[in-house]
């Protein structure tokens, strides 16, 4: 019984339910390995007893947990503090507040301005503010933010904790809206360098907002990739989630480009010509998007731009950016510089360089100052163009603008794991347990955050990540949002079937998210598809996190036939879509072409005719419902009419956001990503194409009659 108890105390689950009513117990070897990754030895009965004793004499008796969370209506449980304990809060801005305990032992956090506070002068003489009334940006008398909490007991003991004061909910989208979803690399214009870029994103936002009345553009993660050739093209396995990848830059939009002279200008012209050929191969010759080739050209151009002196105003803006980003950017740029010299896997670097705080790394920083400045400059350029894209979206009338995407994790050899090594669980990988759809489970090759390390640091790595992503966003989509509650940890060298769930402090994770979203004024969308604990969706809804509802999955599972869910039974707080980047395009599903594709690649576990028959039944059920609701006047045989009807159906639901997969709008048949494949299919390397598979430029997409016919169904252009 000792090991299960020890596991429970550290958030390690010793069983899980792959399906309702079916429990699977986790093997002892897995529990031991996961606990070891959390710094707990459970390898022998003696070690278990020692670890339990350490816990009982340490964490269990601590006056304060490492991080305390406060939000409206949810004061923290500080029952371990004895009567007479004095609490003091040192706020981020430097104010010191006394925070007493009420008779029940809970913090008395009703709002009482300090003596002489200007807020007192605004109240009529003799009037008292009700205890429930709080100024904006406060919870009780505590300002929103991250502070330090100190406790001093009558018997002389003291303790210190991080204090997170957060709003109760995420900001809500400003009314009902609709917009496009697109993988940015796939959106090439006549000016792209072989893949879509931030200039293309700004153009898409400006055009669609003004001409179509869209309220947002949701894109794939723009996180920094692991360098090297070939680079992993997946945007969901990055080197760093804290900083965007400069491969997305529009080179000509960088102000220093216009200041190039002499040989540098001639060389820039040669690079532009080479980029034109690369673009033509993708758009005109059927070549795949080659991220490495694009980056090779852009990096050469950026080396030229970096040598152009910045004007006084630009220099001041760059210095402000460096100061604002602090040590996080310096670490990332240092990793990039070291990766240029020693390769992209820091685990194979010379001794000492695997530690960003070592003396050897400090010496290397000194010798690599120019390269560190180069990579810092690229981060600044990218941040500026992201800001310009969001500004273009808002100026076009979009209520939300850019919706950025947060991947579930990072590459084990990348920048984030090097700079924040203590925050990640060594020897572990995030994945998914076996379920009805995948009996072998999944291993995504991404090291998980240690929940204990996050709490000890006041969730600083998580806060910094969110702050950076929300700088230039109107909303944030969180991939696998269930990871805020628990993640499936797979020990290195074991199959994904031999993993275990590790729980995170969801109250803290959601409160930090609410705090950063509040500061940015951004909505939050959680990707909650698949097997999700019921309490998770309930908690997310209560905290204002929108869900993700994909039409094909929205069925009434209380009905034995699992018929399509009527539109008025959908949840309102969601982003509703017909498909996503991981699913077949709508045209391919309607025609059965995606079943043929999967059959050619050997992905079916039954004969093609059986697969097509089953999918024809599924599609037929939806088309029958659309016809019954009067949403399919074109008839079931009309493919474009059926695509319109499915989106008309989304408008019948109460969903606050309706997303249109941009390839659907022009009839593209090909999925951007086909789960279960790697080299067998060109995942993450296809440009948006028409129904015949011909790649389309952004200019052609904007002129597409098929797109305009679909978008007229969703709303009128803005006046």
With 90 as the cut, is the pLDDT of residue 718 above it? no
Please report how many Cα atoms fall inside a 13 Å half-sphere around the Cα of residue 500, on the Cβ side. 27
Q: What is the mean pLDDT of residues 116-141?
A: 50
pLDDT at 59: 87
* Alpha carbon distance 251, 258 (integer Å): 10
Contact 455, 69 (CB under 8 A): no
Q: What is the mean pLDDT of residues 264-284?
A: 98
With 70 as the cut, is the pLDDT of residue 239 above it? yes
pLDDT at 719: 43
Higher pLDDT residue, 1 or 677? 677
With 80 as the cut, is the pLDDT of residue 627 above it? yes
Residue ranges with strand state E in 20-139: 22-25, 67-70, 86-90, 96-98, 138-139
* Alpha carbon distance 264, 254 (integer Å): 15
Burial of 669 (0-12, 13-18, 19+ CB in 10 A): buried
SS3 for 281? helix
pLDDT at 125: 37
Per-residue burial over 557-573, b if 16 or more Cβ lie within 10 Å, else e, is: eeeeeeebbebeebbeb
CA angle 348, 353, 359 (to 5 degrees): 160
* Alpha carbon distance 453, 422 (integer Å): 7
- Neighbouring C-beta atoms of residue 345, cutoff 10 Å: 15
Q: What is the mean pLDDT of residues 628-633?
A: 96
Angular region, 504: left φ>0, alpha ψ -120 to 50, beta rest = beta
Q: What is the mean pLDDT of residues 100-104?
A: 58
Indicate the pLDDT class of residue 716, thresholds 50, 70 and 90. Answer: low
**Radius of gyration of the chain from Cα atoms?**
27
Among 2-11, 98-107, 199-208, 421-430, which is the least confidently predicted range? Answer: 98-107
Residue of 527, 484, 603, 700 lying closest to 181 (CA atoms)? 527
With 60 as the cut, is the pLDDT of residue 717 above it? no
> pLDDT tens across 150-188, in order?
999 999 999 999 999 999 999 999 999 999 999 999 999
With 50 as the cut, is the pLDDT of residue 118 above it? no
pLDDT at 115: 44
* Alpha carbon distance 498, 7 (integer Å): 16
Q: What is the mean pLDDT of residues 34-41?
A: 98
* Alpha carbon distance 295, 164 (integer Å): 40
pLDDT at 106: 59
Torsional sign, CA 138, 140, 142, 146: negative
With 90 as the cut, is the pLDDT of residue 688 above it? yes
Among 28-37, 75-84, 258-267, which is the least confidently predicted range? Answer: 75-84
Per-residue burial over 133-152, b if 16 or more Cβ lie within 10 Å, else e, is: ebeeebbbbbbbbbbebbbb
With 80 as the cut, is the pLDDT of residue 7 above it? yes
- Neighbouring C-beta atoms of residue 104, cutoff 10 Å: 9
Rounded to the nearest 5 percent, the helix, strand and coil shares of the chain are: 40, 15, 40
pLDDT at 640: 96
- Neighbouring C-beta atoms of residue 188, cutoff 10 Å: 26
Indicate the pLDDT class of residue 557, thresholds 50, 70 and 90. Answer: confident
> pLDDT tens across 66-75, in order?
999 999 988 8
Indicate the pLDDT class of residue 438, thresholds 50, 70 and 90. Answer: confident
pLDDT at 126: 36
Indicate the pLDDT class of residue 121, thresholds 50, 70 and 90. Answer: very low
pLDDT at 200: 98
Cα–Cα distances in angstroms (integers) from residue 310 to residues 16, 249, 315, in the given order: 57, 18, 5
Indicate the pLDDT class of residue 132, thresholds 50, 70 and 90. Answer: very low
pTM of the predicted model over 0.75: yes
Q: What is the mean pLDDT of residues 275-299?
A: 98
Query: Which residues are 477's β-sheet partners?
Result: 405, 525
With 50 as the cut, is the pLDDT of residue 111 above it? no
Higher pLDDT residue, 465 or 534? 465
* Alpha carbon distance 42, 36 (integer Å): 7
289: Cβ–Cβ under 8 A, 6 or more apart, which residues? Answer: 185, 186, 194, 195, 233, 282, 684, 685, 686, 687
> pLDDT tens across 567-596, in order?
999 999 999 999 999 999 999 999 999 999
């Amino acid at each position: 019984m000792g090991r299960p108890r020890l596991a429970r105390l550290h958030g390690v689950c010793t069983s899980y339910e792959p399906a309702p009513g079916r429990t699977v117990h986790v093997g002892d070897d897995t529990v031991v390995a996961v606990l070891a990754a959390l710094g707990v030895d459970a390898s022998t009965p003696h070690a278990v007893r020692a670890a339990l004793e350490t816990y009982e004499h340490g964490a269990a008796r601590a006056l304060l947990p490492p991080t305390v969370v406060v939000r409206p209506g949810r004061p923290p449980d500080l029952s371990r503090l004895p009567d007479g304990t004095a609490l003091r809060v040192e706020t981020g801005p430097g104010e010191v507040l006394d925070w007493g305990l009420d008779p029940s032992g809970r913090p008395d956090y009703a709002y009482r301005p300090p003596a002489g506070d200007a807020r007192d002068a605004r109240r009529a003489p003799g009037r008292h503010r009700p205890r429930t009334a709080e100024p904006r940006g406060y919870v009780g008398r505590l300002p929103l933010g991250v502070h330090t909490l100190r406790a001093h007991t009558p018997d002389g003991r003291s303790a210190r904790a991080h204090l997170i004061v957060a709003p109760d909910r995420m900001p809500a989208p400003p009314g009902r809206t609709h917009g496009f979803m697109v993988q940015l690399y796939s959106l090439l214009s006549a000016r792209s360098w072989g893949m879509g870029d931030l200039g293309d994103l700004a153009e898409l936002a400006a055009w669609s907002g003004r001409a179509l009345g869209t309220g947002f553009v949701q894109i794939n993660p723009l996180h920094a990739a692991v360098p090297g050739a070939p680079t992993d093209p997946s945007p969901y396995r990055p080197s760093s989630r804290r900083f965007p990848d400069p491969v997305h830059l529009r080179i000509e939009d960088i102000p220093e480009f216009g200041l190039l002279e002499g040989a540098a200008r001639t060389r820039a012209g040669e690079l532009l010509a080479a980029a034109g050929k690369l673009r033509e191969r993708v758009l005109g010759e059927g070549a795949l998007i080659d991220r490495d080739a694009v980056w090779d050209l852009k990096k050469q151009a950026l080396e030229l731009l970096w040598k152009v002196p910045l004007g006084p105003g630009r220099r001041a803006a760059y210095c402000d950016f460096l100061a604002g980003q602090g040590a996080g950017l310096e670490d990332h740029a240092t990793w990039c510089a070291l990766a240029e010299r020693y390769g992209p896997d820091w685990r194979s670097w010379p001794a000492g360089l695997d530690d960003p705080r070592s003396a050897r790394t400090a010496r290397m920083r000194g010798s690599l100052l120019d390269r560190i400045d180069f990579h810092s400059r690229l981060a600044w350029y990218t941040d500026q163009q992201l800001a310009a894209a969001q500004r273009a979206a808002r100026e076009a009338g979009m209520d939300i603008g850019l919706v950025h995407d947060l991947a579930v994790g990072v590459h084990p050899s990348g920048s984030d794991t090097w700079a924040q090594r203590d925050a990640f669980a060594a020897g572990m990988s995030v994945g998914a347990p076996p379920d009805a759809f995948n009996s072998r489970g999944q291993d995504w090759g991404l090291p998980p955050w240690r929940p204990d390390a996050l709490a000890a640091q006041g969730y600083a790595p998580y806060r910094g990540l969110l702050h950076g992503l929300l700088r230039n966003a109107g909303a944030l989509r969180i991939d696998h949002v269930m990871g805020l509650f628990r993640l499936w940890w797979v020990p290195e060298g074991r199959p994904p079937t031999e993993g275990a769930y590790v729980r995170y402090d969801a109250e803290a994770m959601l409160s930090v998210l609410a705090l950063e979203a509040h500061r940015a004024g951004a909505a939050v969308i959680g990707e909650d598809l698949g097997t999700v604990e019921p309490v998770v969706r309930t908690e997310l809804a209560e905290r204002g996190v929108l869900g993700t509802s994909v039409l094909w999955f929205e069925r009434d599972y209380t009905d034995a036939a699992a018929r399509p869910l009527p539109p008025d039974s959908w949840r309102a707080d969601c982003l509703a879509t017909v498909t996503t980047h991981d699913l077949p395009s709508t045209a391919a599903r309607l025609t059965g072409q995606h079943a043929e594709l999967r059959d050619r690649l050997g992905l079916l576990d039954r004969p093609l005719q059986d697969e097509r028959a089953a999918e024809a039944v599924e599609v037929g059920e939806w088309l029958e419902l659309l016809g019954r609701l009067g949403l399919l006047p074109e008839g079931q045989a009309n493919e474009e009419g059926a695509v319109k009807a499915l989106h008309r159906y989304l408008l019948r639901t109460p969903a606050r956001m309706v997303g249109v997969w941009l390839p659907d709008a022009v009839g593209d048949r090909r999925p951007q990503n086909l789960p279960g494949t790697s080299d067998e299919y060109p995942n993450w390397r296809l440009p948006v194409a028409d129904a015949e598979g011909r790649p389309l430029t952004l200019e052609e997409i904007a002129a597409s009659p098929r797109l305009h016919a679909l978008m007229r169904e969703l709303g009128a252009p803005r006046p």
